[in-house]
């Protein structure tokens, strides 16, 4: 029996049919060499999920398959005889159905984690097609392949999710305080456990929030914001989307006090900013957008045009002092 590589990749992405899963299960049972080949293909898939864009994934798969073809020509494959009864009894299914334990352990226990340093923004495509824009100084944990009845990830920091819709398998973002269950498509989540900050902004569709302490559930509709404060959630309308321009490399200073804007600068420019004055400068701009790529000094010089402050730098320790 021969198994096409495309079938394996469809299995890793959970887009195969049950019939294809049964074929793959019988093929794995036939020889140890088949299981080793399956594991090699899965290793390539894991790497592609961690580091590559969707276009690059295809290139890696092509190169990997070429290498496997060469290896197979050099290696004598030993095939084991398998009776019809044994094949029928194997059982290799998706989700909660039983399949061979080595493969089950390999697939289900593979959890990936991606962390961004301050100043770094990353876009990740999950195995189901969901696109995650991970903000600076943030971390996400997610399974290499989504199996079971839900798609669950864990977030620390901030991310915008553009979820691939699947009514059969809800997408859940787990945070320190709330679980965000996706009933729609696009939303932003901020989860800073050390500071006790949690918020969700719903850009498109619908989501529900479940409090992990008391189990209370709240359903959000499009263009609303939910923020955790004083022990509960406060809902408000989403008046503008400037706060989410970081995915385009832009910092918005609209409506922010000076100290909060400095916190953003620390996050995006990977510097330490120390305020050495009794009163905060006022930001004179009603609406201000700063391109991250222009650098911290350009950003501060723009602010100085309408704000009364000076700054000095300790470049050896990446510290900026505001006076």
For 150-177, how does the pLDDT look when each residue is reduced to its tens digit (9 = 90+)? Answer: 899 999 999 999 998 787 889 999 999 9
Nearest-10 Cα torsion for 57, 61, 62, 64: 140
Mean pLDDT over 104-110 rounds to 57
Kindly list the domain boundaries of the chain, sorted by start residue: 5-108, 111-237, 245-322
Measure CA 37 to chain center.
Answer: 28
Lowest mean pLDDT among 49-58, 75-84, 259-268: 75-84
Q: Left (φ > 0), alpha (ψ -120 to 50) or beta: where does 222 sit?
A: beta
Which residue has 């953003």 as its token pair? Answer: 264
Q: How far apart are CA 197 and CA 123, in angstroms?
A: 23
Q: Which CATH code is given to the segment(s) 111-237?
A: 2.60.120.1440
Q: Kindly list the distances between the CA atom of residue 128 and the CA atoms of 14, 150, 164, 171, 202, in Å, as whole numbers in the listed order.
A: 8, 11, 7, 10, 21
Q: How far apart are CA 309 and CA 304, in angstroms?
A: 6
3-state secondary structure of 90: helix
Model confidence at 237: pLDDT above 60: yes
Which residue has 């330490």 as its token pair? Answer: 272
Question: Nearest Cα to 307, choosing from 269, 268, 280?
Answer: 280
Say whether pTM exceeds 0.85. no
Question: Nearest Cα to 286, choosing from 244, 255, 252, 307?
Answer: 255
Lowest mean pLDDT among 33-37, 40-44, 108-112, 260-264: 108-112
Residue 91 pLDDT class (50, 70, 90 cuts): very low
Average pLDDT over the chain, rounded to an integer: 77
Contacts of 29 (CB under 8 A, 6+ apart): 82, 86, 87, 90, 100
The confidence score (pLDDT) of residue 1 equals 64
CATH architecture designation of domain 245-322: 3-Layer(bab) Sandwich (3.55)
Q: How far apart are CA 180 and CA 263, in angstroms?
A: 26
pLDDT in tens, 194-217: 888 899 999 988 888 999 988 889
Say if CB 12 and CB 77 are below 8 A apart: no
Provide the β-strand partners of residue 155.
Answer: 140
Q: How far apart are CA 195 and CA 32, in angstroms?
A: 51
Model confidence at 284: pLDDT above 80: no
The confidence score (pLDDT) of residue 154 equals 94
Mode of pairing for the β-strands spanning 151-162 and 171-174: parallel
The confidence score (pLDDT) of residue 7 equals 81
The tokens describing 104, both together, are 């089950």
Q: How far apart are CA 319 and CA 294, in angstroms?
A: 18
């Amino acid at each position: 029996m021969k198994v096409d590589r495309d079938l394996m990749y469809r299995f890793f992405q959970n887009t195969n049919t049950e019939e294809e899963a049964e074929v793959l299960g019988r093929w794995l049972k036939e020889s140890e060499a088949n299981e080793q080949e399956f594991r090699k293909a899965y290793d390539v898939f894991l790497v592609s999920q961690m580091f590559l864009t969707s276009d690059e994934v295809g290139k890696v798969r092509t190169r990997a398959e070429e290498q496997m073809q060469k290896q197979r020509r050099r290696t004598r494959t030993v095939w084991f005889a398998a009776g019809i009864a044994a094949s029928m009894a194997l059982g290799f299914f998706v989700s909660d159905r039983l399949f061979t334990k080595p493969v089950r352990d390999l697939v289900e226990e593979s959890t990936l984690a991606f962390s961004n340093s301050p100043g770094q923004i990353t876009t990740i495509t999950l195995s189901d097609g969901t696109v995650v824009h991970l903000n600076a100084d943030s971390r996400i944990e997610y399974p290499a392949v989504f199996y079971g009845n839900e798609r669950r990830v864990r977030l620390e920091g901030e991310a915008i999710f553009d979820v691939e819709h699947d009514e059969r398998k809800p997408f859940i973002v787990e945070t320190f305080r709330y679980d965000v269950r996706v009933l729609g498509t696009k939303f932003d989540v901020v989860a800073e456990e050390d500071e006790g900050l949690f918020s969700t902004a719903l850009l498109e569709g619908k989501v529900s929030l479940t409090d992990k302490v008391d189990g209370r559930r709240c359903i959000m509709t499009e263009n609303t914001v939910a923020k955790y404060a004083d022990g509960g959630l406060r809902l408000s309308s989403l008046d503008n989307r400037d706060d989410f321009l970081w995915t385009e490399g832009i910092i918005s200073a609209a409506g922010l006090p000076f100290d909060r804007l400095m916190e953003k600068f620390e996050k995006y420019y990977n510097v330490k900013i120390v305020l050495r004055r009794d009163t905060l400068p006022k930001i004179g701009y009603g609406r201000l957008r700063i391109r991250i790529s222009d650098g911290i000094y350009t950003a501060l010089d723009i602010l100085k045009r309408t704000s009364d402050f000076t700054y000095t730098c300790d470049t050896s320790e990446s510290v900026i002092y505001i006076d």
